[in-house]
Amino acid sequence: MPWDLIIFYMVATICVLCAVGVVASNNPVHAAIFLVLSFFNVAAIFVMLGAEFLAVVQVIVYTGAILVLMLFVLMLVDPDDLPEFHAARPVQRYVGVLLGAILLLEVGVAIIDRTVTGIPGTASREAVDVVGGNTQALGRTLYTEYLLPFEIVSLVLTVGVIGAIVLAMPERLGERIANRRGTISLGHPRGTDFALPVGPLEESPIPGSARDEAVMAGPQEFGRELVMVRDAEEQPVVDLRR
Amino acid sequence: MNEIGSEHFLFLSAALFIIGMMGVLVRRNVLIIFMCVELMVTAANISLVAFGWELDSLSGQSFAIFTIAVAAAEAAVGLAIVVALSRRVKGAVDIDEARSLRD
């Protein structure tokens, strides 16, 4: 048995076992760790297939970015929901396993029976080595033959990121911005009143500034006084609860 | 390095895909289902690269890169949906609890 076949079987076995662990583990954190292991082995498979650049991308994007994102979300959701197994109803479970077995049988027959009809391409191992390696050859292909799909994929990523921000933004953040009265201005005579609590303006306690203290130093026996002013800036601010 | 037949890689791809599919069908935790979808995407990637390797073509690897990019966008949007759901619905990690898209 040649060595590369032994290595392939080793890597593939670990990969499949870790995939089973993802499906079967109780704790989603354990499932995520199994997924990391499985993806590392997939990267090894990519190296065996001569796709070194893709192996690196697999490690950086999947195990680096997506799994970290997933662990962050695991920390954000309610911890009471996490540890249970959350399996489906028994009928659904049996149907799922049965469908999987049937599909495995079909695909196995298809793989054994297949014949290669495509025309072999120009990227043989020698041709790739002439260009300088897998990364260089793949870069040439991406930026010549697949330039338009490449740009479209960048657009898809941008839209995806914006959509993710919009979806995950707390609703209360928007409300808080919409309910903010007053202005944020350091030169305002009342000072900065951006720290007002949410609610009607009349009920909000406003910290008195020097001018308000001068107003309050006057006669204290008025009740609710009608103040006629031309615009809102002139209105003396009086804390009636004092 | 000796040549390994590409059937090996295709069988590995099929096995990973079917394990992922079974996970989607069997589990109810939305995060596990998400990981299983990623597993299926990766299985498809292995298949693409294996066919490209068999035919001496770089198209398979190019498409695999596009697939990884789209899977990253999908992961961002999907996890954002999970976060938004878990804020509104109690126990939204269980997909049977979240039945409708609006309250």
In tens, the pLDDT along A33-88 reads 999 999 999 999 999 998 999 999 999 998 888 889 888 888 887 666 555 555 66
With contacts defined as CB-CB under 8 Å, which chain B residues touch A2? 2
Tell me: pLDDT of B64 over 80.
yes
Percent of chain A with pLDDT over 70: 66
Most confident of the following: A202-211, A216-225, B11-20: B11-20
pLDDT of residue A42: 95
Question: Could you give phi then psi for residue A227, rounded to 5 degrees?
Answer: -115, 125
Gap between the Cα atoms of A166 and A14, Å rounded:
39
With contacts defined as CB-CB under 8 Å, which chain B residues touch A122? 56-57
With contacts defined as CB-CB under 8 Å, which chain B residues touch A146? 62, 66
What interface predicted TM-score (ipTM) does this complex get?
A: 0.90
Tens of pLDDT, residue by residue over A127-138, are 888 888 889 999
Find which of A167, A171, A172, A175 to mutate to test the B interface (most B CBs within 10 Å of its CB).
Answer: A167
Cβ A19–B20 below 8 Å, yes or no?
Answer: yes
Tens of pLDDT, residue by residue over A97-141, are 899 999 999 999 998 888 878 788 787 788 888 888 889 999 998
Cβ A160–B84 below 8 Å, yes or no?
Answer: no
Q: How far apart are the first and last CA of chain B?
A: 59
Tell me: pLDDT of A151 over 70.
yes
Cβ B35–A70 below 8 Å, yes or no?
Answer: yes
Average pLDDT over all residues of chain A: 77
How large is the average pLDDT for residues A170-185?
61
Q: Check if A74 contacts B (Cβ < 8 Å).
A: yes
Cβ A73–B16 below 8 Å, yes or no?
Answer: no
Cβ B35–A51 below 8 Å, yes or no?
Answer: no
| A-B contacts (CB, under 8 Å) | 251
Percent of chain B with pLDDT over 90: 48
Q: Tell me how long chain A is.
A: 242
Tell me: pLDDT of A194 over 80.
no
Q: Check if A8 contacts B (Cβ < 8 Å).
A: yes
Which of A66, A76, A149 is nearest residue B72 as measured by Cβ atoms?
A: A66
pLDDT band at B67 (very low <50, low <70, confident <90, very high): very high
pLDDT of residue A191: 46
For residues B73 and A160, the answer to whether their CB atoms sit within 8 Å is yes
Tell me: pLDDT of A186 over 70.
no
Lowest mean pLDDT among A69-73, A128-132, A237-241, B96-100: A237-241
pLDDT band at B29 (very low <50, low <70, confident <90, very high): confident
Q: Check if A148 contacts B (Cβ < 8 Å).
A: no
pLDDT of residue A204: 46
Q: State which residue of chain B sits closest to A163, comparing Cα positions.
A: B77
For residues B64 and B9, the answer to whether their CB atoms sit within 8 Å is no
For residues B43 and B14, the answer to whether their CB atoms sit within 8 Å is yes
Beta-carbon contacts of A176 under 8 Å, excluding residues fewer than 6 positions away, are A198
